[in-house]
Amino acid sequence: MNYLKYLPQIIMRKPVQLTFFITRRCNSVCPYCFYLRSTKDSGEGKEAELWEIKKIAEEFKNLVWLAFSGGEIFLRQDIAEITKAFYDSSKPAVILLPTNGLMPEVIESRVKEILDYCTESSVVVKLSLDAVGDKHDEIRGVKGNFSSLMDSYRRLAKLKETHSNLDIGINTLYSGLNEDYVEEVIEFVKKLDRVSTHTLSLIRGELVREDIKQVDYNRFKILSEKLEKERKNVYSFRGAKLKTAQDIIQKRLIYRTIQEERRVISCYAGRLNLVITENLDVYPCEILNKKMGNLRESGYSIQRVLSTRQAEKTLKYILKGECYCTHECYFITNILFNPKLYPSLAKEYLRLSGITGF
pLDDT tens per residue, range 268-317: 999 999 999 999 999 999 888 899 999 999 999 999 999 999 999 999 99
Q: Which of 261, 271, 288, 276 is nearest to 333 (CA)?
A: 271
pLDDT (0 to 100) of residue 40: 43
Q: How far apart, in whole angstroms, are the C-alpha atoms of residue 67 and residue 205?
A: 18
Residue of 322 and 59 predicted with greater confidence: 59
Q: Which CATH class is domain 3-352?
A: alpha beta
pLDDT tens per residue, range 127-170: 999 999 999 999 999 999 999 999 999 999 999 999 999 999 99
pLDDT tens per residue, range 228-259: 777 654 666 667 778 888 888 988 898 899 89
pLDDT (0 to 100) of residue 4: 58
Residue 211 pLDDT greater than 90, yes or no:
no
Hey, how many other C-beta atoms are within 10 angstroms of the C-beta on 320? 8
DSSP strand pairing (281-283 vs 293-294): antiparallel
pLDDT tens per residue, range 82-129: 999 999 999 999 999 999 999 999 999 999 999 999 999 999 999 999
Q: Any idea where the domains of the chain sit in the sequence?
A: 3-352
pLDDT tens per residue, range 33-92: 877 655 444 445 689 999 999 999 999 988 989 999 999 999 999 999 999 999 999 999
pLDDT tens per residue, range 259-279: 998 999 999 999 999 999 999
Write the burial class of residue 162 (CB in 10 Å: 0-12 exposed, 13-18 middle, 19+ buried). Answer: exposed
